[in-house]
Structure 1
């Protein structure tokens, strides 16, 4: 990455950071030491509907003890990346409080296996554990995937108009531990492992290295093992359904050869989000404008191809709704998304969202010279009002592509 491009990226990041990440005493956010009256009696979720349908008598008083675990389960048939047909996908989320609710965020773990009965499957497990009083945050991301994925080459103006299908097996092991430095601000270290093996194309006449015109990580195996410096600013009380607040995440990753990496390389990822309540007088009712932006850039010239910044490959694989995952890949990526969230029913059972996003990548051209937009809308169904967990169904579209996505919890 040349110095001019890096300077340009850094300048944009510096412009964004003051807007989306404020000082220690934020406004428009529910403070952790504020007592919030939980008026869940007026809210309705799918659990309430099931009780009514099967005539299960609820308790007169709904008790919510500390450390009670809330489960959400979503079975669905959907397409898997790479156009390999439909798959059975299940998503199970367990959420609980590990400390006093007034001072501790809700912890969650999500297991989302999929299988399409044609040798394609995935076993991802993600966790976000908040210890009592938010003194520590333990984050994990473990995956084993047999993963087909189309690729178009590098840049917004990739030379290859026709994609090629890349097939590989993928093991990811990410773990980080962050200590609270002051309210809402955390710092810590992490370990990141990305191991892709049996890399190849479905077409024996297509050589991935020649197709992408990229030398690193395009033949057989790719092994990246590194350490990360993590800085986090988070005023959200619930990551499954964020209340008004702010979020900022900075990750500097370095992958030295002595940890086993095929090549020594480093990268920077900066993620900033803002949640604005448009009806603060009624915090229980959803009427929120959510903004999300991230800058992801490689700082070395030997980053393996499949480790390069790519739309849809942010840490939670949530960006780029309305685009095919991996559609745009480059040495740097800038992403921006806005979403309006609103309840349809007064009891919170049903809601909707409207969203749009845009990205720019470098590779075949300079960053910010080509922009690729997408947009869409979605339905929300309240699964569990105690943990504020929604089931999300979104339809997104962009030039040449449209598709449905299903989530437990909000996209961001």
Structure 2
């Protein structure tokens, strides 16, 4: 137990060092006067009359990105990302709700249909979160920990259905608690397409969810969130913290009883005075742990497999996996132009997955990179993000809508 709390302390320490009084971002007026986005440019080229902007009227702000990109875990794909931002109440007292749908497919039998949502009820009385996915892989695994070399990997085929839903009620300003239901269903798990005859169980030495066939997990969650961000698509200075305790139970159909904890902390700090230009340091840290036996191998904490699959830019998805995972990332965000059309970021991140048997954090795995930002929709402050990340033995381009965190 002492090790558990010590690990959490070191995970959150970089963010806590910069802690300051939370900004009341719900009452920050976002002024888009003089701002420019791709919608403005497209309207000017096509000579379209822009839709009148009424901050008191409920509107949906769409951002659509049909483009070729690289998937988490490697290989090229066709990705169509659609983000919708909208207010369900007075924007002075209600956060921006968001729904993101980003289907993708490639020519190697891999495709996915992920849908994420975060809905804020009027006056932020409730927050309803959803994560639904249907994914068809193959994907490489390197087992647990950080010892295996890049080439020492196994190709695993499987299909995956995820259904996560949670409802949180505001208890105090910015603080919410609630419950949820999580379902993970892996089916048609096999390694027959791998160049090796080794099974997933033999390769990983892990006993849960590594036999050919299916793996089913079903459990309830207890959720707590502290959030001062007005806009989760592109946060302005503020704080976000969340705690999720999950209990898979045979009573709910789960193959094994298992428990896990996910702790997430993010801090956004405005640097200096730069006029209308954004000048922000963003930090993100999380600790993810299986606190009991029984978690299926494919559900173990893995880099790039956080709730929004945004961690570990510059590292292959699930390159590092273990029963415990530590992660920290820092990113500097700055506008290039006064009208907010162009900006840039530079980032670095570190992760460590616990070793099997010893459960020690023996290896630290760094990555770094930078990227360009192009404003797609100034009303929802949604950027087109073009990031290039690299680490030892790997590099890749990541294209998407909205900030990584």
**C-alpha separation between the residues in 1 aligned to 2:376 and 2:70?**
23
Task: Please list, as runs of the form range in 1=range in 2, the aligned pairs for 1:43-122 lying within 5 A after superposition.
Answer: 43-58=35-50, 62-81=53-72, 83=74, 85-122=75-112
**C-alpha separation between the residues in 2 aligned to 1:81 and 1:39?**
35
CA contact (8 A) 2:35 2:341 kept: yes
Q: Is it true that 1:180 corresponds to 2:189 in the alignment?
A: no
Q: 1:147 to 1:278 in 2, by over 3 A?
A: same
- Select which of 2, 25, 28 maps to 1:7: 2
Q: Is it true that 1:332 corresponds to 2:327 in the alignment?
A: no
> Mean Cα displacement is larger for which, 11-20 or 93-102?
11-20
**C-alpha separation between the residues in 2 aligned to 1:116 and 1:281?**
42
Q: Is it true that 1:405 corresponds to 2:398 in the alignment?
A: yes
Secondary structure of the residue aligned to 2:143 is: coil
- Select which of 354, 358, 375 maps to 1:382: 375
**C-alpha separation between the residues in 2 aligned to 1:254 and 1:347?**
48
The equivalent of 1:3 in structure 2 is none
**C-alpha separation between the residues in 2 aligned to 1:317 and 1:183?**
28
TM-superposed deviation, 1:161? 4.6
CA contact (8 A) 1:142 1:174 kept: yes
CA contact (8 A) 1:81 1:148 kept: no
Task: Please list, as runs of the form range in 1=range in 2, the aligned pairs for 1:258-269 lying within 5 A after superposition.
Answer: 258-269=251-262
Aligned residues: 400
Kindly provide the CA deviation profile for residues 24-44 of structure 1, in whole angstroms up to 9, marking residues without a partner as x: x96252342x362x4312111
Task: Please list, as runs of the form range in 1=range in 2, the aligned pairs for 1:35-46 lying within 5 A after superposition.
Answer: 36=29, 38-46=30-38
Kindly provide the CA deviation profile for residues 35-60 of structure 1, in whole angstroms up to 9, marking residues without a partner as x: 62x4312111001111221222446x
The equivalent of 2:286 in structure 1 is 294
The equivalent of 1:170 in structure 2 is 160
**Structure 2 alignment gaps of length 5 or more:** none
Q: 1:156 to 1:15 in 2, by over 3 A?
A: closer
**C-alpha separation between the residues in 2 aligned to 1:207 and 1:13?**
34
TM-superposed deviation, 1:82? 5.4
Kindly provide the CA deviation profile for residues 329-369 of structure 1, in whole angstroms up to 9, marking residues without a partner as x: 00100000000000011110000000000011112454333
CA contact (8 A) 1:378 1:395 kept: yes
Q: Is it true that 1:229 corresponds to 2:229 in the alignment?
A: no
Moved over 4 A (4+): 15-22
Instruction: Name the TM-score, length of structure 1 as normaliser.
Output: 0.92
- Please report the RMSD computed on the Cα atoms of aligned residues, expressed in angstroms: 2.0
Kindly provide the CA deviation profile for residues 294-337 of structure 1, in whole angstroms up to 9, marking residues without a partner as x: 00010112211011110001100000000000000001000000
- Select which of 108, 115, 135 maps to 1:125: 115
**Structure 1 alignment gaps of length 5 or more:** 1-5
**C-alpha separation between the residues in 1 aligned to 2:255 and 2:401?**
36
**C-alpha separation between the residues in 1 aligned to 2:92 and 2:15?**
25
Instruction: Name the TM-score, length of structure 2 as normaliser.
Output: 0.94
- Select which of 121, 132, 146 maps to 1:156: 146
Kindly provide the CA deviation profile for residues 68-121 of structure 1, in whole angstroms up to 9, marking residues without a partner as x: 0000001111233555x4221100011100000000000010111112244321
Task: Please list, as runs of the form range in 1=range in 2, the aligned pairs for 1:24-43 lying within 5 A after superposition.
Answer: 27=21, 29-32=23-26, 34=27, 36=29, 38-43=30-35
**C-alpha separation between the residues in 2 aligned to 1:238 and 1:307?**
29
**C-alpha separation between the residues in 2 aligned to 1:98 and 1:18?**
36
Kindly provide the CA deviation profile for residues 253-298 of structure 1, in whole angstroms up to 9, marking residues without a partner as x: 000111111111000100001000013574x521000010000010
> Mean Cα displacement is larger for which, 186-195 or 272-281?
272-281
CA contact (8 A) 1:82 1:148 kept: no
**C-alpha separation between the residues in 1 aligned to 2:242 and 2:12?**
10
**C-alpha separation between the residues in 2 aligned to 1:260 and 1:268?**
20
CA contact (8 A) 1:72 1:93 kept: yes
